[in-house]
Amino acid sequence: MEVKQQQNQFQSALLGLQHLLAMYSGSILVPILIASALKYSSTQLTYLIATDIFMCGLATLLQLQLRKHFGVGLPVVLGVAFQSVAPLIIIGQNNGAGAMFGSLIVSGVFVILISGVFSKIRKLFPPLVTGSVITTIGLTLIPVAIGNMGDNIAKPTANSLILAVFTILVILFIHIFTKGFIRSISILIGLLVGTVAASFMGIVDFSVVAQAPIVHFPVPFYFAMPEFYPVDCLMMIIIALVSMVESTGVYLALADITGEELSETRLRNGYRAEGFAVLLGGIFNTFPYTGFSQNVGLVQISGIKTRKPIYYTAVFLMILGLIPKFAAMAQLIPSPVLGGAMIILFGMVATQGIRMLASVNFEGNQNLLVAAVSIGMGVGFNGTTLFTSLPNWAQMFLTNGIVMSAVSAIVLNLIFNSGKDKQ
């Protein structure tokens, strides 16, 4: 009996490691992207990645609980909300790190406060709205990937382009010739293989790993004390609402796979735990967290529907987050390799939005107009110089493609579809 229990523990630990690998590349990409845009030093980036990984584990642990006031109690893994990348970069570049983390704190508190009534509010976010916004997120991030492919310089070298294309080909090869778990970590494998190839070209700097400390602990307000700007806070509240809709889909899918009843109370507690995780992200200067859909597929593939493997995932993440040398290894990835992986990743984000839109009834022109205007304004207004004559606060709002897409989609959907059941 004892041997069998040990075998079960070992199997659960392996499954937990599989879940960690499936979400790891997505979790380290976000801090790399934001730190690169904000010109953080290698020391700052090491801290950011390590603390982010730790917070992913802590957020997952919170959500696994099945308590009276928080936790959805499903085998869900929480990772960084990818849709937060572009707005956080905009906020950080315009108003600094304090504004970035202050807006996260506000959005986290907002999610906690509205968790009980979101079952009514979420009707404002049907697939027509969320699909338009997520498509816009992917399309507005693709130019960032292109910049990294060229090493963010005016005249990219041949090596940069070769590495970027090689990374793309590796990921495509994995998707064509493999199945299951290997395919699910294709981005991570592409990054690893691309970095190995880059090391043979002599363009990988290993000094950052040697300089990183062995152990560290997350520190509140490491980068800056929070600052609160209304437009920034509104931006992150919109992103939080989109994340809540995304998480709802994850919770419903997991409830269906596990055969558990997802009551309104459990859903509320799930939102509440997610809001608390976002709040902690602001306090410890990391990011907002949401349910990762790729891990839902692993639950289905493995057939193991209990929370036990996910507890191992959470613990593994927290342990890795306390060892900065693991975080420093992520900095070994050259920019062109990252760009090659990102163009696929961001393209998949846009495609996910398109898939959501595929479930929308486009008979007649109303829904078609909502999607067309929302995506058009989101992509077209993103970073435009069209509004330079307006005040700074108006420019921040109007030149943020994600916010413009979300606001136009919500308003137009209410105008055209108010009172209708199907959209």
Assign 214 to helix, strand or coil. Answer: coil
Residue 16 is predicted with a pLDDT of: 79
* Assigned domain for 156 exists: yes
Q: How far is CA 57 from the centre of its chain?
A: 14
Separation between Cα atoms, residue 385 and residue 407, nearest integer Å: 20
Residue 156 is predicted with a pLDDT of: 74
Banded model confidence at residue 205, pLDDT cuts 50, 70, 90: confident
Better-scored residue on pLDDT, 90 or 154: 90
Q: Which of 293, 245, 234, 249 is nearest to 124 (CA)?
A: 245
Residue 207 identity: S
Please say if the pLDDT value at position 367 is more than 60.
yes
* Assigned domain for 418 exists: no
What lies within 8 Å, CB to CB, of 317 at 6+ separation is 20, 53, 54, 56, 57, 60
Residue 22 is predicted with a pLDDT of: 67
Q: How far is CA 316 from the centre of its chain?
A: 19
Range of the domain at 106: 2-356
Distances (CA, A) of 34 to 91, 333, 417: 11, 15, 37
Share of the chain above pLDDT 70, in %: 90
Structure tokens at 42: 């290698």
Assign 289 to helix, strand or coil. Answer: strand
DSSP letter, residue 332? G
* Assigned domain for 342 exists: yes
Please say if the pLDDT value at position 120 is more than 80.
no
Query: pTM (2 decimals)?
Result: 0.73
- The number of distinct structural domains making up the chain is 1
Please say if the pLDDT value at position 3 is more than 60.
no
Assign 290 to helix, strand or coil. Answer: strand
Distances (CA, A) of 379 to 37, 241, 337, 385: 19, 20, 25, 13
Least-confidence region, from 106-110, 199-203, 345-349 = 345-349
Cα dihedral value 183, 187, 193, 197, nearest 10: 140
* Assigned domain for 362 exists: no
* Assigned domain for 392 exists: no
* Assigned domain for 212 exists: yes
* Assigned domain for 416 exists: no
Better-scored residue on pLDDT, 157 or 230: 230
Cα dihedral value 362, 367, 371, 373, nearest 10: 130
How is the chain split among helix, strand and coil, in percent rounded to 5?
75, 0, 25
Please say if the pLDDT value at position 244 is more than 90.
no
* Assigned domain for 421 exists: no
Please say if the pLDDT value at position 82 is more than 60.
yes
